[in-house]
Homo-oligomer: A and B are copies of this chain.
């Protein structure tokens, strides 16, 4: 029942290229019975979306539950098995890391798998096996969960991806011309834009989203240590023309394209759950359908659901995934 906010000092994130802190605050929600016995529990690692971190999952908003409140309610009503929920902080100066290693942002994938997982197993009474470990998330967190599951099935036995970033052609590319417009006053020089943005009182202005998001994704998907800013934009900053070499690097990290390269690993998962709203503002329902169709063709067991809603404020979908996970994590 209590949520403890752990202070974790990362070795891997120390001296990361963006100067982001290597000491992170990581909320861990413990199940109701945790304090009253010696039982061991499965662990759900819950990845936040772009601009979020573990602590933002505890934010209080009107008429809504926090993640711990939701879990407690579900456990009380018998729809969810008691589990430990770990909420990592992989926020970066640009808004997020996509939970990948990148020379432009830091080694967040390693941080998750090599540091956090062992530390959680040491610090809490977990069932320290992949079969009792799930990774899940929404939006960028859903992306992260999928990629972790594809690459580290020996760590994660179950994967839940809610409204995850997918089919970059529809979810990122339409932002490129808008990003170009926002870079225009800086003559297309992204480092000038970033410098100006650093000084803005309202850095999260929705009007800037196309630029911030594109920059953040470029730092994750097309890092380039040879250039001062540390990453390549996927387009020419003046004409806007796609740079095929860079864009291909992005596409190589699109889950829709990754699936075929990770068939054997994906087959090891106990649960692979995907969902998306049919009115998703980033059109992620289409990428999710493509991935589901590829999984079907590749013979990979999965659950694919759609619901009548958009991208934002759909945490009520966790009711569904927490319930499914409870069964998957319980199986021996």
Interface of A with B (CB < 8 Å)?
A: 51-53, 55-56, 58-64, 91, 95, 167, 169-170, 173-174, 176-178, 180-181, 184, 201-205, 238-242, 278-279, 283, 286-287, 289-290, 293, 309, 313-314, 316
Query: Secondary structure at chain A's binding surface: helix, strand, loop or mixed?
Result: loop
Determine how many copies of this chain the complex contains: 4
The answer, among B61, B314, B316, for a CB contact under 8 Å with A56, is: B61
Q: Which of B61, B167, B204 contacts A62 (CB 8 A)?
A: B204
- Taken together as a complex, chains A and B put the C-alpha atoms of A169 and B95 apart, in Å, by 27
Q: Which of B63, B64, B283 contacts A240 (CB 8 A)?
A: B283
Q: Give the Cβ gap from A272 to chain B, nearest Cβ, in Å.
A: 18
Q: Which of the residues B173, B181, B240 comes within 8 Å of A173, measured between beta carbons?
A: B173
Name the B residues within 8 Å of A59 (CB-CB).
56, 59-61
Contacts of A241 in B (CB 8 A): 167, 286, 290
Q: In this complex, which of A177, A203, A313 has the most chain B Cβ atoms within 10 angstroms of its Cβ?
A: A177
A180 CB to closest chain B CB (Å) equals: 6
Q: Which residues of B are found within 8 Å of A202, using beta-carbon distances?
A: 309, 313-314, 316
CA distance A175 to B283 in the complex (A): 11
Q: Are A204 and B286 in contact (CB under 8 A)?
A: no
| A59, A61, A239 — most chain B CB neighbours (10 Å) | A239
